[in-house]
Structures are given as structure tokens and as C-alpha cells.
Chain A
Amino acid sequence: MAADQGVAKRGPVSAFFATRPKTRLGLLLAPPLLWLVVAYLGSIVVLLITAFWSVNGFTGAVVPTFQLGNIVSVFSEPLYREVTLRTIVVALSVTVVDAVIAFPMAFYMAKIASPRTRAFFLVAVTTPLWASYLVKAYAWRVLLEPNGPIDIITGGHSPGYGLPATVITLAYLWLPYMIIPMFAGFDRVPSSLIEASADLGASTGRTVRSIILPLVFPAVAAGSIFTFSLSLGDYIAVTIVGGKTQLLANLIYGQLVTANNQPLAAALSIVPLIAIILYLLAMRRTGALESI
């Protein structure tokens, strides 16, 4: 009956597609596929190809002749090795700091707080995402300055500007991206399991180790993908609170914008690309990709 009505009211366009399921599917999928293949994969392919080109030293024009010089220098130059290592250490530290802070918070939000407090915390955690990145980074610059608030509170033991300040600032910036997946992860842990563990005489520590951690770990891993990859690509916070240090993205920016050396910048950006792919592969083994 309903189907009959549908047929009766079908216009010429619908009638055209009704008999051609392949055309219909093709048109439906074309825009997203075009976007994925051309804009996204296409630009990565261009990036990879550019890495094998060189640049005219004076005019800065890209010369499309194949050579391996850029790739070789990325992997042989000690500066790039050192900065890559530093960047990965920063990204991992940010991830660990965020995980440690987010764990009790997410647990409280998911398991202890009343629905009203939970809503309040969810809003409180996500609100900073509305504020500008630069405002938050400069706020940390003021907090960390000599004779600034942190200096006064800690009695002159502010870390000052440098790598620790960079880790603190990035950890603050990306914290919501860790809390939200962990909150979702805790939400999925049945409270009955925690109670059963306690009933069977397990200490709190034992419950956390044997029940909560294994069940929440995929969520932690999911959050860590955000904090790790966002930290890996950041170059602004480090220029604001990093003192005189630089990270991998600063080198890429410098080669691209200052030196106008697109090919070397492209070769350098392969490094974080590899790091993130390796990290994603490692995370896939934990089942984290299903919890994003």
C-alpha cells in the first residue's frame, strides 16, 4: 500500500535512479570518495613526491628532478635525529601526564558523580575548547614567568620557559581529548564488576589493577592517539613557552616558510607521518581503534 503510493508519486528523477542502482550508488559515494582520494590521499602523495625533488637555491622555485638528497639528510643529519627524539619524548610525556590526570577525573565522572554533577563536569571539561589556542598558551606564559603566579606559589620553583613548560602547556591544551574517551571507557565498565571485586576481598589497588585498568586500557589508548598526534605536530606552544627549544614541526615550518625549501620540508614531514603510523599500528593491537 505504502509502496504503491511511493511509486505513484515518484518524479522523473527518482524514476531514473530507481532502475539504476549502480548509478545511484556511484553518485552517492562520489563526493566523499573524491574528497578522500583527491584532497586527502592526493595531497599526501604530492607531499611524498615533492620530498624527492630539489629547489633552486636563489629563486626558490621547485625543480622536479628525482634525487634522494633530502631523504638522506633527514635520516643522517644529527640535528634532525635529536629534534625527532625530543619531539617524541615531549609527545609521550604529554600523553602520560594527561592519562594520569584524566584517570581519576574520568573515573569520578563516570562512576561516582550524580547525573547532575556529571553533566557539570562534562561541560567544565569541554568549555576550554571554546577558548582560543593562543589565549590559553599565552595564559601559561604569564603563569610561568619569573615572579609569576607559579613562582610565588611554589616559592621560586617555577620550571620557567623550556621543555617542561611546553609539556605542561600541551598537556593542559589536550586534556579534554583524553578525558572524554576515558569517561566513555569507564562508563562501559559495569559497576557490578567493581563491587564483585570488593566483595571477594580485593583491595582498591588490586581492583584497579585487575579489573578497571584492563577494561579501560583501550579507552586510554584511544585518548593517547589524540594527545600524541596533536603534540607531535605542534609548533606554536613551544615558541610561546618553550624558551629557546624547538620541535620537529618548527623545523618543518622553518624549511617551508623561512627557507622556502618545500622538498626538504616534505621530506621532514615524513618523520611524524611514520611515527603516527607506527603509533596507530601499536594502538590497533590494544583494540583502541574500536573505542574512539
Chain B
Amino acid sequence: MITRTKLSAIAVAAALLVTIAGCSGGGGGGSSTSPQGNLPNIAAQKKLGAGEGKLNIIVWAGYAEDGADDPTVDWVTPFEKQTGCQVNAKTAGTSDEMVQLMRTGQYDGVSASGDATLRLIYGGDVAPVNTSLVPNYATISDFLKMKAWNSAGGKMYGIPHGWGANVLMYNPAVVTTAPDSWSAVFDKNSPYAGKITAYDSPIYIADAALYLKATDPSLGIKDPYSLTEKQLNAAVALLKTQNANVGEYWSDYTKEVEAFESGSSVIGTTWQVIANLVQSDGKAQVKTVVPKEGVTGWSDTWMIAAKAKHPNCMYQWMDWITSAKVNAQVAEWFGEAPAQTKSCAETSDPAFCDTYHATDAAYAANIHYWTTPQTACVDGSGKTDCTAYSEWTTKWQQIKG
């Protein structure tokens, strides 16, 4: 009996110790409790030194290929040879994972999408970029520079990498009249009920908001990522109606490819790369369209950690990945529009940039890029009555029921 008491005392003590360790670890990781508006004062690097021989980066799958997936697809090895920086690339699955990994402080940089960038900037995890140290920055498409999702306080917080739109894909064998509106997936009485697909992420609420912006002006939606409680509820109501007609949601792109090829989905939101994969497999015909209400999309930016241990290698990487040839290789491998204008001359498919509208500023301007919804509205209005991403997540779970 005595030993048992002793044992449990030890257990409790050990558990407390672990808890305390957990507390201090968590506190150290995200001690910045600054609300938006308090931009951490971090200076950009002044000049470039010699490489440090190592580079640790967080990437989307396919952004740092070293020939392991396909021997012909390799832009990491030449970089290592040229700069002497050994690349250690960590693939992350979601923007949220990227934010968490960056907070460990073990990485020099990240290829962040717009729904992660602001969290990193205001969390003090990344530093502004001295663009004059990145020669290739000059020829990057102008419509990607100094945007709300990659700059703050008049400073660029990264080097744009590539972008793409979430377009409407349909199977013309079933959807015989070509749709020109998102109503094809939001209409309650859709003839394609049960075969509609939608993107499985809270950020998809913005797609519904974008549709409501055009179809229900009384709601007064201006920016699909800056929704008041009332506007968010309207978008959620629309998505709940849509849920009755949805066959399945997708977030893994191979699942959507399979769904369209097998016919279990015939219409829904997609990325261009998915449509290309379905077409090249040849099992089903699909077409994509940019609906008249506009589209959401993503724009990725290479950012440098505020406390990078290998900053010079990171600068060299940012210049390398946006050089004409490499940016073309990445864009073709991943299926997105390259940020580098000169890349269009380097793609193996001469029509590549036309397919992805890479240099089409008007097309790019119609895209509402993913950004993290916050209580302080992200539309630049200065209002603070918007709904935050955490609320969107809870609502998204309610939509799926």
C-alpha cells in the first residue's frame, strides 16, 4: 500500500514536470501576443555575405525537387553545387502546419501561401526581404509585388513564387450546357445533385462569399475574406444548402482526379493542375471555366525566418527559385503560373504560360487570393467587426454536419 502511494506520488510529480515543461515550451514559441497592427520591428538584411553551407526550408510538396521523385526533375542539386548550401527541405501539408513548423525556429525559410503569410509576419516569425539582394525580383510580375498578403508596413516580406486560381471544372459529357456561374454548384435545385464536389477547407467559405457578393448585394460583401457575423452566416447558410447536393468534398488532389475519372463527381471547384491530370489520363473529359462572379486562388511567397541561421543561403535560394529556368521548372512540375515573367520563354510547353494566364494581369486581378480572415478586417477598411479563421473552422465543421 505504501509503495503504491509512493508510486502514484512519483507519477504525479513526473506528470507535473512534463506539464511545466510543456507550458514554458508553448510560451516561448508564441510569446508574441500582439494583435494585428503591431508590426514586429525586424530589420531586413543589409548585404549579402558568404553562404553558410546549409539551408533548412519548409516547402509545399513539389517545390524543392532533388530528383528523388523523378530523376529528370531536379533543381536542388544544381543549387547545392553552385552555392555550396546543402538543402534540407521539409514538406508541409497545410498552411497551418507551415506556421507551426516556422515557430520551432529551426528553419531558414518557407514557401508560404497567403493564408499563412500574415500570421507569420505579425507573429514576428519572418523578416522583411531586401529585394535588392535578389536580382531576379526585378522581373517578377508587377501584379504580385507589394500585395496585402506578402507585404506590411510598406515592406516586402518575401519573394513571390507562383500563383493559381480555383476554377470551376465540369465534365461536358454530363454537364451539357457550359456553366458560366458558380450557381452551377450553389443552386439548391441543381440537376447535378449528388455529383457536386467542393474543397474541404474552411477557406472555401470565401468561395460562397464571393458568389453572394455578386448575387446578393444587400449583404454588402466587399471582400470574401472580410466577413461580418451576418455575412459569414449568409455564406454558411448557402454552404449548408449546397451540402445537400454535394457528393463528396476533396482536399487531396488525387482524390478529385479519381472522382472525376470515375464519374462520382461531375462539377466542382478545382485547381488547373487537377484538370490537366484528368485530361492527360484520358479516362474522362473535363473543361474548366472562370465563372463570371470571379474566383479565389492562392499566391505563394518565399519568406525568410526572422532568426534564420543561414540567411545568406536563404537569399541565394530565393534568387535561385525565381530565376527564369528554375521557376519555369517548378511551375510546370506543380501546375501553376510562375511569378517570374522570363520563365515563359523557358517552359518545355511553349503554351504553358497562356494556359495558366501567367502574365495576364487582368486575369490575376480577378483572383481573390487566399488570406487569413481576422477580426481586424483584411480588406484595408480598418474595421474590426470581421470574423476570424478559427470561427470559420468551427462553422465549416457545422456545414459538414
Residues of A at the B interface (CB closer than 8 Å) are 33-34, 37-38, 41-43, 45-46, 49-50, 55-64, 79, 82-83, 141-142, 145-148, 160-161, 239-240, 242-246, 251, 254-255, 257-261
Contact = CB atoms under 8 A, between A and B. Distances in A.
Given A41-B15, A244-B400, A259-B389, A62 B30 contact: yes
Interface in B8-28: 10-11, 14-15, 18-19, 22-23, 26-27
A260 B120 CA distance: 14
A46 B22 contact: yes
Given A60-B99, A260-B99, A79 B262 contact: no
Given A38-B14, A145-B264, A146-B262, A58 B246 contact: no
Contacts of B97: 257
A258 B122 contact: no
A79 B398 CA distance: 6
Contacts of B188: none
Nearest to B252: A239
Given A58-B388, A79-B398, A244-B246, 18 more contacts: A37-B14, A37-B15, A46-B22, A57-B375, A58-B35, A58-B36, A62-B26, A63-B33, A79-B401, A142-B262, A145-B264, A148-B262, A242-B248, A244-B248, A244-B249, A254-B393, A258-B202, A259-B389
* Residue among A34, A43, A258 with most chain B CB within 10 A: A258
Interface of B, secondary structure class, is: helix
B264 A246 contact: no
B10 A254 contact: no
Interface in B351-401: 374-375, 388-390, 393-394, 396-398, 400-401
4 tightest Cβ-Cβ pairs between the two chains A and B: A61-B30, A259-B393, A42-B18, A145-B262
Interface string B189-202: 00000000000111
B325 interface: no
A58 B249 contact: no
Contacts of A56: 30, 33
Contact of B32 (A43, A59, A243, A258): A59
B99 A38 contact: no
A254 B94 CA distance: 11
Contacts of A146: 262-264
Give the interface size class of chain B.
35 or more
Nearest to B124: A59
B104 interface: no
Nearest to A259: B393
A146 B262 CA distance: 7
| A33, A50, A239, most chain B CB atoms within 10 A | A239
Contacts of A60: 30, 96, 99, 119, 123
Interface string B78-122: 000000000000000010110110000000000000000001001
B243 interface: yes
Contact of A61 (B33, B36, B249, B263): B33
A59 B33 contact: yes
B291 interface: no
Given A82-B401, A161-B247, A259-B393, A45 B30 contact: no
Contacts of A46: 15, 18-19, 22
A244 B247 contact: yes
Given A60-B119, A244-B248, A37 B11 contact: yes
A61 B122 CA distance: 12
B396 A64 contact: no
Question: Of B11, B123, B397, which is in contact with the most chain A CB atoms at under 10 Å from its CB?
Answer: B397
B35 A257 contact: no
B53 interface: no
A45 B21 CA distance: 13
Contacts of B7: 33
A258 to B, nearest CB: 5
Contacts of A148: 262
Given A59-B32, A246-B397, A259-B389, A49 B19 contact: yes
A258 B201 contact: yes
Contacts of A255: 393, 397
A172 B82 CA distance: 52
Contacts of B248: 161, 242-244
A22 B189 CA distance: 77
